[in-house]
């Protein structure tokens, strides 16, 4: 009987903790939501790339697209130049949705080399990834003059995470 | 297939970890033996690929799994010799000294904790690593190492201007590599092993101190720390660092407790019916050799803190903050200067090795890109105002206020409230509570000082995550808070008192024959009244002679 009463106390204690102030909000938005996600995910037929696309979002999908295009163009060593994130934030105001990946993360996603405008290897860049509200494009950089022109365009936007 | 691979890895971790644990001759109860073995096995596994790399051996499935098997076999030679000497029955008894028991009122807590553990494990398994610190360093290196068979791979040819995560400990890289080679595309599931093992250990540690009902509530509060819970399925260094650092402190404080109140908890199932709380806490366990265990606790603590340092090198500085209480304990023990010095060198040796191997040898002599740790140190050390500013920021932004609640829930508020209540109403702190309070203060002061010494250690990211270490420490303080201990005793007393008409319960038709167990002022439990048939006999564990005051 006492064990039963203590069991009731245990349930009451759990109920109180789970609903106390911020705990209630957090529990609903995190562990309980994760459970709902689990119920969907357990029946998913997504492969590894599909799961990564879902998890990493649009940037990952863009990176994979870049990889495909670079492969189709059959460039021996494609090096992708990214626009600075401060440009997306201060000029295009799309940073909340889009941002350029770090070269390290881009390499993890695609196995391709990426550079930022301040990278020591920036002169090796032979493609420019442009992201705007209209869409995404991968433009070829044909010569060092064109590269320099591009770099000048972004001069006032320092690369940031 | 991957389920088989997982269980084989689990078995390897268990065996190799048990081999290490056996070297310390600690007599632990089963829950501790299994969880510590797994945690030691994970730590060893995180070191082996790194060691192979240091020896310039290719990191293939054969070399990595071969080294894991070899380590498990070699480390278990002493176990095998001991089984041969003492017999298998004795060995089995040492592994399972007492029957496993769950009380009905623990089940609700186990259900809710189990739910949160399950959700965490699923996310670990199903989702890829997401934290930027992992993707721009260890995770990427591990992924490429699967193809290139070396930790020093083409990742280092990429522009790494925006990150320093490639310079962090190989702990994460090695474990990711092992699990990716075992067929888990996202690795990560090792973190669930650490999480579950630590959860079981901590619950048992709490249950040893207070009533299972209180232990359950404390455990739930510990789980309900939003920031830390997220890191049970997001691979990074801080959760694992917290686990090993806490375990180190746990065994260090066992050492301070001078042979009493052992983790070798044959004695101390707090929830076991008929076993009185106060009694269960006191005295060495049956069959223990307190002196031997005490020293073993000390060196085992040194090893665990060493592992924590291997995971995050700045832990070395935090470990040094525990030198004063160690010296004090050695002074109380009247240890000669030479012996104390030798003991302390051995204690800090794993930490020094963990620090040297990762930040000196590997960074300076192996990686193609060098990282000058010395250059990161604050060069205005005479200006102390940033130090006090950092302490102030930790207090106002990370420990109190809305942001702090979003990070940690109410755990620090509860700790502070019960600390003040204990100071006001009890006016003294027991030794264990003092130890954990010292640890809390040392961590707060140490993390503030580190943030001042290393400006790269920013407040909202690095210091915040380093504060994970304070969470289990706070919980253990709460488990030793005198008010909660009194509440625990009151519940246990009530629970052990049979229903009677006088106390408002019991079957009206039956006379009250049962004995009552009563806590005397001297801390002993005596059976009062009742008949032989209904008396619950309370037998103190052998060797529990004295109660510490």
Model confidence pLDDT, tens digit, residues B121-140: 999 999 999 999 999 999 99
Determine the Cα–Cα distance for residues B459 and B394; give it in Å rounded to an integer: 7
Domains of chain B, by residue range, sit at 2-155+165-486
As a whole number, mean pLDDT of residues B380-389 equals 90
Within an 8 Å CB–CB cutoff, is residue B130 touching chain A?
yes
| Predicted-complex ipTM score | 0.93
Within an 8 Å CB–CB cutoff, is residue B505 touching chain A?
yes
Within an 8 Å CB–CB cutoff, is residue B163 touching chain A?
yes
As a whole number, mean pLDDT of residues B145-155 equals 95
B180 CA to chain A: closest CA distance, Å?
Answer: 13
Q: Cβ contact (<8 Å) for B162 and A103?
A: yes
Q: Which residues of chain A have pLDDT under 70?
A: none
Q: What percent of chain B has pLDDT over 70?
A: 84
> Where is B196: in which H helix or E strand?
helix B189-209
B265, B204 Cβ separation under 8 angstroms: yes
Residues in chain B with CB shorter than 8 Å from the CB of A112 are none
Closest B-chain CA to A53: B128
Q: Cβ contact (<8 Å) for A104 and B160?
A: yes
pLDDT of residue B501: 55
Determine the Cα–Cα distance for residues A125 and A42; give it in Å rounded to an integer: 42
A107, A114 Cβ separation under 8 angstroms: yes
> According to DSSP H, which parts of B376-481 are helical?
385-393, 402-408, 411-421, 431-453, 464-466, 470-479
Coil vs helix vs strand at A130: strand
B538, B527 Cβ separation under 8 angstroms: yes
Which residue in A42, A79, A85 sits closest to B132, CA to CA?
A85
Residues in chain B with CB shorter than 8 Å from the CB of A21 are 405, 410
pLDDT of residue A53: 94
Determine the Cα–Cα distance for residues A78 and A71; give it in Å rounded to an integer: 9
As a whole number, mean pLDDT of residues B419-437 equals 94
Q: Which of residues 281-310 of B touch A (CB under 8 A)?
A: none
pLDDT digit string, tens, across residues B496-548: 888 765 544 444 444 444 444 555 544 444 555 444 434 444 443 333 444 44
**Which one of A8, A10, A26, A118 would you mutate to disrupt binding with B, by most B Cβ within 10 Å of its Cβ?**
A10
pLDDT digit string, tens, across residues B441-470: 999 999 999 999 998 889 989 999 999 999
Coil vs helix vs strand at B548: coil
Determine the Cα–Cα distance for residues B167 and B253; give it in Å rounded to an integer: 33
Residues in chain B with CB shorter than 8 Å from the CB of A55 are 127-128, 130
pLDDT of residue B267: 39
What number of residues does chain A have?
Answer: 161
Q: Cβ contact (<8 Å) for B137 and A4?
A: no
> For all residues of chain B together, what is the average pLDDT?
86
Determine the Cα–Cα distance for residues B341 and B338; give it in Å rounded to an integer: 5
> According to DSSP H, which parts of B234-333 are helical?
237-256, 277-281, 290-311, 315-320, 323-332
As a whole number, mean pLDDT of residues B239-250 equals 97
B502 CA to chain A: closest CA distance, Å?
Answer: 16
Q: Is the dihedral of CA B326, B327, B328, B332 positive or negative?
A: positive
How far, in whole angstroms, is CA A111 from its chain's centroid?
Answer: 16
Within an 8 Å CB–CB cutoff, is residue B264 touching chain A?
no
User: For residue B274, how many other CB atoms are within 10 A of its CB?
Assistant: 14
Determine the Cα–Cα distance for residues B425 and B232; give it in Å rounded to an integer: 37
Q: Cβ contact (<8 Å) for B158 and A104?
A: yes
Q: Which of residues 229-248 of B touch A (CB under 8 A)?
A: 229-230
């Amino acid at each position: 009987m006492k064990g039963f009463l203590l069991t009731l106390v245990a349930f009451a204690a759990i109920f109180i903790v789970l609903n106390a102030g911020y705990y209630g909000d957090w529990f609903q938005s995190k562990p309980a939501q994760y459970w709902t996600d689990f119920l969907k995910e357990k029946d998913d037929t997504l492969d590894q790339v599909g799961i990564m696309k879902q998890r990493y979002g649009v940037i990952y999908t863009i990176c994979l697209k870049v990889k495909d295009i670079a492969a189709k163009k059959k460039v021996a060593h494609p090096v992708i130049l990214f626009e600075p994130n401060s440009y997306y934030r201060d000029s295009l105001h799309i940073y909340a949705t889009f941002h350029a990946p770090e070269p390290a993360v881009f390499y993890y996603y695609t196995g391709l080399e990426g550079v930022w405008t301040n990278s020591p290897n920036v002169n090796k860049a032979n493609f420019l990834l442009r992201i705007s509200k209209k869409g995404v494009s991968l433009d070829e950089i044909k010569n060092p003059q064109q590269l320099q022109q591009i770099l000048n365009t972004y001069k006032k936007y320092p690369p940031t995470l | 297939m991957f389920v088989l691979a997982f269980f084989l890895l689990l078995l390897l971790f268990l065996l190799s970890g048990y081999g290490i644990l056996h070297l310390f001759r600690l007599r632990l109860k089963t829950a501790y033996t299994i969880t510590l073995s797994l945690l030691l096995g994970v730590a060893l596994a995180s070191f082996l690929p790194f060691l192979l790399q240091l020896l310039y051996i290719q990191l293939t499935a054969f070399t990595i799994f071969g080294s894991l098997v070899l380590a498990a076999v070699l480390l278990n030679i002493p176990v095998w010799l001991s089984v041969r000497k003492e017999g298998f029955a004795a060995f089995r008894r040492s592994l399972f000294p007492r029957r496993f028991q769950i009380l009905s009122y623990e089940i609700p807590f186990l259900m809710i904790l189990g739910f949160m553990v399950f959700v965490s494990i699923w996310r670990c398994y199903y989702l890829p690593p997401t934290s930027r610190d992992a993707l721009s360093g260890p995770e990427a290196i591990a992924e490429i190492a699967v193809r290139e068979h070396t930790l020093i791979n083409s990742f280092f040819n990429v522009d790494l201007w925006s990150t320093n995560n490639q310079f962090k400990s190989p702990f994460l890289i090695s474990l990711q590599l092992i699990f990716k080679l075992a067929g888990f595309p996202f690795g990560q599931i090792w973190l669930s092993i650490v999480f579950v093992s630590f959860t079981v250990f901590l619950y048992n540690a709490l249950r040893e101190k207070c009533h299972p009902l209180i232990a359950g509530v404390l455990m739930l509060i510990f789980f309900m720390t939003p920031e830390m819970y997220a890191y049970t399925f997001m691979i990074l260094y801080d959760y694992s660092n917290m686990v090993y650092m806490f375990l180190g402190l746990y065994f260090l404080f066992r050492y301070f407790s001078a042979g009493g109140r052992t983790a070798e908890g044959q004695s101390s199932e707090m929830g076991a019916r008929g076993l009185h709380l106060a009694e269960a806490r006191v005295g060495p366990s049956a069959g223990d050799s307190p002196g031997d265990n005490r020293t073993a606790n000390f060196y085992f603590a040194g090893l665990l803190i060493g592992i924590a340092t291997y995971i995050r090198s700045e832990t070395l500085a935090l470990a040094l903050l525990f030198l004063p209480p160690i010296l004090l304990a050695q002074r109380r023990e009247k240890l000669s200067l030479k012996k104390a010095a030798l003991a302390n060198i051995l204690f800090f040796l794993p930490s020094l090795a963990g620090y040297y191997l990762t930040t000196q040898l590997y960074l300076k002599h192996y990686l193609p890109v060098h990282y000058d740790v010395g250059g990161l140190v604050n060069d205005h050390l005479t200006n102390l105002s940033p130090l006090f500013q950092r302490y102030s920021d930790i207090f106002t932004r990370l420990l109190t206020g809305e942001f702090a609640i979003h990070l940690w829930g109410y755990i620090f508020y509860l700790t502070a409230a019960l600390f003040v209540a204990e100071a006001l109403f009890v006016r003294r702190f027991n030794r264990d509570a003092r130890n954990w309070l010292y640890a809390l203060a040392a961590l707060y002061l140490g993390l503030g000082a580190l943030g001042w010494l290393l400006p790269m250690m920013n407040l909202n990211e690095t210091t915040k995550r380093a504060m994970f270490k304070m969470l289990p420490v706070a919980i253990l303080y709460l488990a030793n808070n005198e008010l909660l201990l009194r509440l625990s005793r009151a519940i246990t007393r009530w629970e052990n008192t049979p229903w009677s008409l006088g106390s408002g319960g019991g079957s009206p038709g039956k006379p009250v024959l049962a004995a009552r167990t009563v806590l005397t002022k001297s801390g002993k439990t005596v059976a009062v009244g009742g008949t032989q048939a209904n008396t619950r006999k309370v037998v103190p564990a052998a060797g529990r002679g004295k109660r510490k005051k």
